[in-house]
């Protein structure tokens, strides 16, 4: 099993987030759609996002599109000093301003609490022993705003008092971190005095509503996922608060956009909206489909031209079908290999290695590291097929349209995808590959891969055609249409 060199996650953008390339890709194609307010002045747009924004492809593409359309755009994000994104202001080459607001740093604010945190974490690890790691991709460093943990902790760990203590600690820490962002975002947002507040996900709706109250700005709610049904551990109070905030925020919004048809339908029905949320999918900008000769997977994995390559591109973590694909590999010929392109936490990489060993395919599973975001499609191009498999462990995942689906299409690859509703629709309507049942087991996945590998050229040609049709430029026109409505004073 080949392994990558260790690469810090902060150096691995996830998706097509290179600002210079994005500016070139838009290339002025949308400049004719110049937005103005009702009184004719240049609109100011405050984009709220609870991350450092450097690799949030959807946020960066949205900001670039609005800037190209003549808006003054400020992204209110969170500083992450350890990742190289400190507090302060940064102006991108396209004129978009990113203001990174103060992060909650426990080590700086209360050093003794940071020491206590490290002690508890070390104690938990000792108690856990050889147990499986929690199903989580959460950073637990006390100086970084942690994301929400996913899945369910290992029962043996969760049952321990020290595990319960750590869980309470993390919940409190996340709440304080979010509250600090809200306070700073409100202060900066009110001072900026925007015409429109673009709120990304449910955790930015509270400050968006407060800014709107003080400035009279309109709100555009951008649901990157099904916020209330996302993959998080059971929480006793937070779901009720989130329900209230999203219900208030979405009814206050002048427009609602989202990433998949199923999420749009759910939001429309659940909140009884007068108008269905508009679909703005997270698709890469238009670019020539790369030549397979430019791919790097075979070289990095040390594979021959006669080997067949199943590609996985993206973050290497749980609920992405990696373990199931390894199981399927055991049912495929020995010249078929799985190559994983992306960054993963060492705890989960150990799970991948162990699963490969148990399936007897260690020599056919290759971890080859990551590439810069704008190189993903090119890097994948020499694969034979791409597996797109998000396990539907929550409703948000079931309704997702994964970025890697569109990245694989833009790489010109045949697709084997799980039969989730929106993913299946894209694959079948464009004829880019085969779908398999998520309940069918490894044999069903292996059979779908074999069908595609037996005659891949029709699917490759279909993917190349789909890549010309499915572009961010097309999605951007929908986005700008919503902004025209909002700036004209038309409400959802």
Mean pLDDT value across residues 241-258? 94
- C-alpha 65/C-alpha 334 separation (Å) is 46
Residue 340: pLDDT above 50?
yes
447 with 477, same domain?
A: no
256 with 403, same domain?
A: no
In a domain, 100, yes or no: yes
368 with 410, same domain?
A: yes
245 with 308, same domain?
A: no
340 with 438, same domain?
A: yes
Count structural domains, the chain: 2
Residue 223 β-bridge partners: 258
In a domain, 462, yes or no: yes
CATH number of the domain that 442 lies in? 3.40.50.2000
Residue 71: pLDDT above 70?
yes
pLDDT winner (highest mean) among 30-34, 188-192, 436-440: 188-192
Which has the minimum average pLDDT: 145-149, 304-308, 353-357? 145-149
Which has the minimum average pLDDT: 169-183, 437-451, 467-481? 169-183
Domain around 455: 292-469
pLDDT band at 237 (very low <50, low <70, confident <90, very high): confident
- C-alpha 71/C-alpha 43 separation (Å) is 5
8 Å CB contact between 202 and 49: no
41 with 60, same domain?
A: yes
pLDDT in tens, 46-61: 999 999 999 899 999 9
Residue 24: pLDDT above 60?
no
- C-alpha 284/C-alpha 38 separation (Å) is 32
178 with 234, same domain?
A: yes
pLDDT in tens, 94-126: 999 999 999 876 555 556 555 666 666 666 555
Residue 196 β-bridge partners: 45, 218
- Return the ∠ at Cα 99 (arms to 93 and 102), rounded to 5°: 145
418 with 357, same domain?
A: yes
In a domain, 77, yes or no: yes
201 with 248, same domain?
A: yes
């Amino acid at each position: 099993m080949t392994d990558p060199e260790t690469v810090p996650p902060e150096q691995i953008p996830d998706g097509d987030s290179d600002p210079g390339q994005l500016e070139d890709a838009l290339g002025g194609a949308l400049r004719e759609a110049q937005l103005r307010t009702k009184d004719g002045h240049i609109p100011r747009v405050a984009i709220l996002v609870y991350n450092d924004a450097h690799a949030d492809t959807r946020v960066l593409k949205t900001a670039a599109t609005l800037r190209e359309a003549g808006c003054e755009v400020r992204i209110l994000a969170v500083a992450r000093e350890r990742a190289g994104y400190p507090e302060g202001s940064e102006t991108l080459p396209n004129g978009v301003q990113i203001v990174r607001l103060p992060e909650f740093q426990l080590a700086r604010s209360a050093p003794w609490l940071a020491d206590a945190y490290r002690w508890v974490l070390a104690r938990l690890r000792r108690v856990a022993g050889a147990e499986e790691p929690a199903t989580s991709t959460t950073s637990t460093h006390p100086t970084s705003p942690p994301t929400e943990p996913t899945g369910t902790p290992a029962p043996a760990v969760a049952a321990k008092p020290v595990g319960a203590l750590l869980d309470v600690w993390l919940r409190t820490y996340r709440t304080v971190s979010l509250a600090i962002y809200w306070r700073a975002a409100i202060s900066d947002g009110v001072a900026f005095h925007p015409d429109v507040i673009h709120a990304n996900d449910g955790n930015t709706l509270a400050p968006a509503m407060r800014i709107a109250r003080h400035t009279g700005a309109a709100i555009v709610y951008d649901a990157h996922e099904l916020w209330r049904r996302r993959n998080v551990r059971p929480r006793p109070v937070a779901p009720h608060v989130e329900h209230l905030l999203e219900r208030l925020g979405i009814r206050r919004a002048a427009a609602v956009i989202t990433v998949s048809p199923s999420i749009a339908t759910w939001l429309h029905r659940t909140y009884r909206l007068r108008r269905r949320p508009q679909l703005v999918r997270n698709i890469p900008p238009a670019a020539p489909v790369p030549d397979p000769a430019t791919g790097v997977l075979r070289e990095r994995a040390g594979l021959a031209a006669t080997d067949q390559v199943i590609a996985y591109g993206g973050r290497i973590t749980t609920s992405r079908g990696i373990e199931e694909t390894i199981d399927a590999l055991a049912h495929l010929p020995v010249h078929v290999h799985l190559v994983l392109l992306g960054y993963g936490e060492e705890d989960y990489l150990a799970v991948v290695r162990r699963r490969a060993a148990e399936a007897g395919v260690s020599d056919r599973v290759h971890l080859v590291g990551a590439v810069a975001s704008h190189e993903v499609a090119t890097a994948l191009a020499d694969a034979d097929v791409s597996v797109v498999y998000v396990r539907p462990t929550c409703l948000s995942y079931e309704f997702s349209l994964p970025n890697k689906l569109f990245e694989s299409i833009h790489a010109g690859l045949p697709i084997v995808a799980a039969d989730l509703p929106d993913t299946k629709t894209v694959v079948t309507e464009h004829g880019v590959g085969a779908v398999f049942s998520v309940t069918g087991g490894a044999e069903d996945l292996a059979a779908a891969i074999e069908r595609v590998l037996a005659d891949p050229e029709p699917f490759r040609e279909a993917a190349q055609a789909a890549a010309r049709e499915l572009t961010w430029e097309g999605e951007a026109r929908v986005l700008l249409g919503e902004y025209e409505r909002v700036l004209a004073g038309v409400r959802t």
